[in-house]
Amino acid sequence: MQMDPNDKLHGTVAISDEFELPYSFTIKAKGKGITEIGGISIRTYSAPRGQSNFEGFLLKHDFIDINDNGYRDLLLSGIYRINHDNESDAFSQRVIVAIFLFDPQIGQFKPSVKDEAVYFYESEGEQDGAGNRYRAP
């Protein structure tokens, strides 16, 4: 699928058997992509512009129950590539792992394991069309 800058994909993700959260994914004009889900916005896409990017451009997203509380948490993983010399194709790379645990009390993901290559910011939480925050049952 080809996406133009500022196009958005929308959908839902099952966080438990009874609970889904809406998500969106947007690629910005400078080649960075943002996933918004569960009160957090995360850079999960990086096109080959500048000195660094993600191998394959998109981090792998896995929703698994890491802390065994009945709710799926977000595990991001991939390879971070850094070009140290803009005049050649020489680069170094390292593994990325970032974990965001879902907190059912507030209906949001919270960072648990951070990686400096995975930029994120927390928002006020997901809301439905009426402005009500999503809460897990």
- pLDDT tens per residue, range 24-82: 998 877 778 889 998 889 988 887 766 778 888 889 999 999 999 999 999 999 998 88
Look up residue 53 and give its two tokens. Answer: 């990017």
Separation CA 114–CA 59 (nearest Å): 14
Res. 94 pLDDT band, cuts 50 70 90:
very high
| pLDDT value of position 76 | 95
Q: Is residue 133 pLDDT above 50, yes or no?
A: no
pTM, two decimal places: 0.80
Q: Which residues pair with 91 in a beta bridge?
A: 83
Outline where 3-120 has alpha helix (H). none
Cβ–Cβ under 8 Å, residues 1 and 57: no
The answer to whether 107 and 39 are in contact (CB under 8 A) is: yes
Under the banding of pLDDT at 50, 70 and 90, the label for residue 2 is: low
